[in-house]
Amino acid sequence: MNILKLYIFISILFISSLNAVDYTKKPKVREFMHTMQYRYGFKKKILEKWFKNVRKRSYIRRLRQGLYCGAVPCGSLGSWGRYSYRYLRRAGGGVYFMHKFHDTLSRAYKKYGVEPEYIVATIGIESEYGVMRGDYFVFDRLVHLSFDKNDRRARFYRKQLKALLRLSAREDINPKDIRGSSSGAIGLAQFIPSTYKAFAVDFNKDGKKQMNNVVDAIGSIAYYFKRHGWRKGQDIAVRVKYEGLRFDKLPTGYRHTYYRKNLEGIEPREDFNYHGKVSLIKLEKRGYDELWYGGKNFYVITRYNQSSYYAMSVHQLAQKIKRAYKRRYGEF
């Protein structure tokens, strides 16, 4: 029996060695380890242990199926339908999350002025309220991105790797156990490691800024939006009318802004209590383009993810959550 256990143990070590890469022989890695040791106090033996056993495959394999939008494949829809379908179905989970963390969301709203439904929608899209926090082992993924390619992005990823190790030291966790996205984003809020340093807050006052703590995630998202210019109570976006089925009269997207008086033939479909310059957000659907005005807060959402489709998904999911919450529980 003991011989059998020894054989299994040796087999596991052998298989693990086949799936691991020793990065300590790379000059840039040795330089990085030297910096982490002498500037930030990491122990040489621990660094060597981590960098000698980097997984070849940082991706965590999962069984995936083709995505269907109702009864049809999403590929048969326009680009907006393909992008938004899986996100806008998350309103039910958002209502439950909003009710469960009502007090924390209220506190964040009072402190930072960010409406609760937008915090909830962001967590819903980023991590499905904490259920899906990423398909990669972040340390291994960042090592590959930092040292396998000699391109302009490598420096950015080395910065993220350094921030990840310092974050793991502060939170007293093994960086090899952290899971996240293909770009190294982690936790409910899916902050990249360097973002934690600037924008994460200790909202539950336990002395730590924890990436997987719901209370800290809520406070951190609210603080992030506030720091980027969120304006409390201001309308965010509204669908507008225009002539025709496809819109190509003017440049669209959050980078282009216009005075509304100069947008002849484009009118809101409902009240839009916003008086600054607006962007025109085009959602490409099968057979026609849906056009929206986006205000300052819409732009703020794009600071989280620089995509008009992302910001519109947050906005529409937030509004769905707000309406469903009101039907079930009344005003927040």
Transcribe 72-83 into DSSP letters: EEGGGS-HHHHH
Quick one: tokens of 125?
Answer: 């899209």
**Active-site choice (126, 171, 284, 331):** 126
DSSP 3-state percent helix, strand, coil across the chain (nearest 5): 50, 15, 35
Which of 22-48 are b and which e, b meaning 16 or more Cβ less than 10 Å from the residue's Cβ? ebbebeebeebbeebeeeeebeeebbb
Q: Residue 238 — φ and ψ, nearest 5°?
A: -150, 145
Q: Where are the beta strands (DSSP E) in the chain?
A: 20-21, 54-55, 68-69, 72-73, 136-137, 179-180, 237-241, 253-258, 267-268, 278-285, 288-294
Query: Rg (Cα) of the chain, in Å, rounded?
Result: 23
Q: Is 115 a catalytic residue?
A: no
Catalytic residue set: 126
